[in-house]
Amino acid sequence: MNTAQQSMAEIVKETYQTVGLPLLDDPKMRVRNANVFYADKQAIFDVNLDIGKNQVISMIGPSGCGKSTFLRCLNRMNDTIDICRVEGDLLLEDQDMYDKKIDVVELRARVGMVFQKPNPFPKSIYENVAYGARIHGLTDNKVQLDELVETSLIRCGLWKEVKDRLNEPATGLSGGQQQRLCIARAIAVNPEVILMDEPCSALDPIATATVEELIHELSQNFTICIVTHSMQQAARVSQRTAYFHLGKLIEVNDTSQVFTNPEHQLTEAYITGRIG
Amino acid sequence: MNLSTLLLIILAGSAVAYFIGYTRSQQIAKPIGGVRNLATLPTYYASMMTLWALIPALLLVFFWSVLDGSIIDSLVKSSFPEEAKQFSEENLGLIMSQVSNVASGIGSIDVLGQEYAPAVDRLVSLTAISQRAMPLLAVCVLVLGALMGFRAVRATNNARYTVEKIFNVALFVCSSIAIFTTFGIVFSVLFESIHFFQKVPFFDFLLGTHWSPQIAIRADQAGASGSFGVIPLIVGTLLISLIALLIAVPVGLMSAIYLSEYATSKTRSIVKPMLEILAGVPTVVYGFFAALTVAPAIRQYGDKLRDWGADNDIGWLANLAVSSESALAAGIVMGVMIIPFVSSLSDDVINAVPQSLRDGSYGLGATQSETIKKVIFPAALPGIVGGVLLAASRAIGETMIVVMAAGLAANLTVNPLEAVTTVTVQIVTLLVGDQEFDSAKTLAAFALGLFLFVITLALNVIALKVVKRYREQYD
Ligand SMILES: Nc1ncnc2c1ncn2[C@@H]1O[C@H](COP(=O)(O)OP(=O)(O)O)[C@@H](O)[C@H]1O
Ligand SMILES: [Mg+2]
């Protein structure tokens, strides 16, 4: 750690108290005093954050600051990592997500996830989109399923491109198409929240633009949390922005506020490119 | 001087050559301003000189040892008496070995007849010459080679390339040895099979439904002329392999899934090696386990079932006959034997399925078993099929268990409770008897071997193709 970083770390330690407006009225999700550990190593410290209904919130911050870890807490994807332990209260519409009685499977159907690298299943395009509907029994017959697949693909702007090749393997699509397919796959289950972990970092600029547009459209019906490395992207797609640093939530505010007039000196340092 | 002393001398000579080459290159380096002005490092010059000395000498020793016997033989044969010229190849061979016996002091010339005395003398003297000449020549070649190498130690000569090239060639030679051996085996089997098919028509072999390779040893002997229909053997082989796969595939696959998806890393580190111990048990142990434990147990259960069937008037059950050697017993035990094949190969391919696919499935709310059934298993399927095919070719080639547990009777049946036999078992039984080497019975073993080779080769090729296609999917 060089001296600049060291002094940053001290700033975090001394002045830790999330600035801005982390809390909202009537949010979709509430996170209170969240601490996350990988074995003995703490990755998230005391995070308090509300996630607004039908809004896009973006999470930014340097690599390794815990954005993905935090995001994965929101649909308990961290359960799949043996050494990971989550403490605190995480509520989805006033329901404790980490309650013993909660069915993780159902929770993940309500809070869907899109990953950094497009990860279509090695199945046909149709089967990829139908996957969630099949396991949750969302449709009663083939006609309904066809319809669901079609509407999901239409909503992701992919229908025109793939309607003649629904039975071809999804791995044959381009990267951008694959990522939109993964989004279609996620929305086919009709989730309430969609978590996206750097959904565009493996895509070229044109595919990125398409996906950003899609996120914008989806935000009318879904609550979306997106982790991104690109501040321009955060500025383009999100209404609120949360800045993380070394596992701590430093600042949350309206996106325009964060980028034009950051309150915290660390946020300012990050968006002006002094830490990255 | 014996061969190992000679080899030691050659090695020592090359070591000296290394030293000389090293010193020499430093010597030339000095007046021109140090090692950095040489085309390459002293060690390369030294290695080059060593190789110059070593390789020709070794080649000489090798070819001399290989060829010297046959050259001396033909020279000795040329001094056989006139009458020997009419003898057949085999007789000449016999006489030759008697001659060499006499030459080395076993047996006496009287048995052969005095007319062979010149041949014996010739053999003695030629052998002596050869034995003295070889080391001498080898050392000469060594020194000559070293001299050539010494002359090549020049400041402008980049010895590194030479050394690299020689290593290249050496590596190539080593890899070709394996290939040529395979070809050699295949061709020798092929030629013997052709001999066999001159005696037994190809289609009688391939399509015949009766296998009884008993051939009259003497022309006047009563008995069969032998029939060589391979179908009962194929059916027996396939039946046993099928039973084995029916056991091994589900068990192996499930344990692979358990190990790679459910087990904690601690369980895994204990269970996996234990499973692999199964692969280390000698097949003969499996064999007597099959013959002494499993087969009698099956028979007992079969008898009980039959009695019960008879008591309850269930006609077909009352007629149940379990032979004491059965395809079932052999198949079950063979299945246990190949479980680790299936499990460890499947474990590898399941682990190779990217974590991102699992995440994708869990992220959509799938449970672990749904994820395994619908994503991981289909994605790993080609690799698993590859593993199963490899296990199948192992099962088809397995001999010991079948010899001990399934019997020798070439019944054409698909009833797993009867005794059957397999291709490999028949090869063994064909070759353990006292037979002339060119009788149809012995040659049949080669034909069976060829047949088996073609089957397992085809299986392996398919398996490799399948596995390869699978690899392309993620990379
Ligand atoms: N599976 C894991 N096991 C152990 N430590 C992890 C694991 N995943 C992430 N971490 C650690 O947690 C911290 C936060 O990582 P992550 O959430 O991936 O950061 P980001 O997504 O912001 O780059 C890092 O220090 C990382 O090393
Ligand atoms: Mg990340």
Q: Where are the alpha helices (DSSP H) in chain A?
A: 3-15, 67-73, 104-110, 125-136, 142-155, 159-162, 175-187, 205-218, 231-237, 255-260, 265-271
Does B475 have pLDDT greater than 50?
no
Residue B42 located in a structural domain: yes
Closest CB from A115, A123, A135 relative to B356: A115
Please tell me the distance from the alpha carbon of residue B290 to that of residue B403, in angstroms, as a whole number.
10
B405 touches chain A (CB under 8 A): no
Render pLDDT for A148-163 as a digit per residue (tens, 0 to 9): 999 999 988 899 999 9
Mutating which of B260, B261, B364 best tests the A interface, going by the most A Cβ atoms within 10 A? B364
Residue B319 located in a structural domain: yes
Find where tokens 């946020």 sit.
A267
What's the pLDDT at B77? 81
B365 touches chain A (CB under 8 A): yes
Asked whether the beta carbons of residue B362 and residue A80 sit closer than 8 angstroms, the reply is: yes
**Of the candidates A135, A114, A251, which has an alpha carbon nearest to the alpha carbon of residue A189?**
A135
Distance A68 CA to ligand 1 centre (A): 7
Query: What CATH number did the domain enclosing B328 receive?
Result: 1.10.3720.10
Q: Are residues B263 and B401 in the same domain?
A: yes
Q: Are residues B33 and B118 in the same domain?
A: yes
Residue B207 located in a structural domain: no
What average pLDDT is seen over chain B? Answer: 86
Does A7 have pLDDT greater than 70?
no
- Residues 369-398 of chain B with CB under 8 A from chain A are 370, 374-375, 378-379
> Degrees (nearest 5) of the Cα angle B472, B473, B475?
65
> Given B157, B182, B214, which residue is the final one in a domain?
B157
Q: Are residues B95 and B243 in the same domain?
A: no
What's the pLDDT at B378? 86
Distance B81 CA to ligand 1 centre (A): 92
Please tell me the distance from the alpha carbon of residue B81 to that of residue A172, in angstroms, as a whole number.
80
B250 touches chain A (CB under 8 A): no
Measured from the Cα of A81, ligand 1's closest atom is 1
Closest CB from A106, A112, A123 relative to B363: A112
> Degrees (nearest 5) of the Cα angle A44, A48, A53?
120
In DSSP terms, A244 is beta-bridged to A249
Domain count within chain B: 2
Find where tokens 């899109």 sit.
A114
Average pLDDT over residues A4-14: 60
What's the pLDDT at B222? 52
Q: Buried (b) or exposed (e) across A2-18, using 16+ Cβ within 10 A?
A: eeeeeebeebbeeeeeb
B263 touches chain A (CB under 8 A): no
Helix (H) or strand (E) holding B124: helix B117-152
Average pLDDT over residues B416-430: 85
Q: Are residues B143 and B281 in the same domain?
A: no
Residue B168 located in a structural domain: no
Residue B107 located in a structural domain: yes
Q: Are residues B145 and B233 in the same domain?
A: no
Residue B381 located in a structural domain: yes
> Given B139, B157, B175, which residue is the final one in a domain?
B157
> A38, A41, A270: which to mutate for ligand 1, most atoms within 8 A of CB?
A38
Average pLDDT over residues B389-409: 84
Report the C-alpha dihedral over residues B234, B235, B239, B242, rounded to 10 degrees: 60
> A1, A68, A69: which to mutate for ligand 1, most atoms within 8 A of CB?
A69
> Given B157, B172, B193, which residue is the final one in a domain?
B157
Q: Are residues B153 and B237 in the same domain?
A: no
Closest CB from B357, B363, B375 relative to A108: B363
Average pLDDT over residues A94-118: 92
Q: Are residues B51 and B131 in the same domain?
A: yes
Please tell me the distance from the alpha carbon of residue A219 to that of residue B226, in angstroms, as a whole number.
83
Cβ–Cβ under 8 Å, residues B471 and B348: no
Cβ–Cβ under 8 Å, residues B445 and B423: no
Model ipTM? 0.87
What's the pLDDT at B248? 94
Residue with CA at minimum distance from ligand 1 atom 7? A38
What's the pLDDT at B414? 82
Domain holding B249, by residue range, is 227-474
Render pLDDT for A205-251 as a digit per residue (tens, 0 to 9): 888 998 899 899 899 999 999 999 889 999 999 999 999 999 999 99
Average pLDDT over residues B194-208: 87
The distance of A3 to chain B (nearest Cα, Å) reads 37
Residue B131 located in a structural domain: yes
What average pLDDT is seen over chain A? Answer: 90
Distance A12 CA to ligand 2 centre (A): 20
Asked whether the beta carbons of residue B364 and residue A121 sit closer than 8 angstroms, the reply is: no
What's the pLDDT at B219? 55
Residue B179 located in a structural domain: no
Report the C-alpha dihedral over residues A190, A191, A195, A199, rounded to 10 degrees: 0
Q: Are residues B232 and B151 in the same domain?
A: no
Q: Are residues B399 and B319 in the same domain?
A: yes
B60 touches chain A (CB under 8 A): no
Looking at mean pLDDT, say which of B118-122, B364-368, B465-469 comes out highest: B364-368
Q: Check residues B314 and B1 and name the one with the higher pLDDT.
A: B314
Q: Are residues B268 and B385 in the same domain?
A: yes
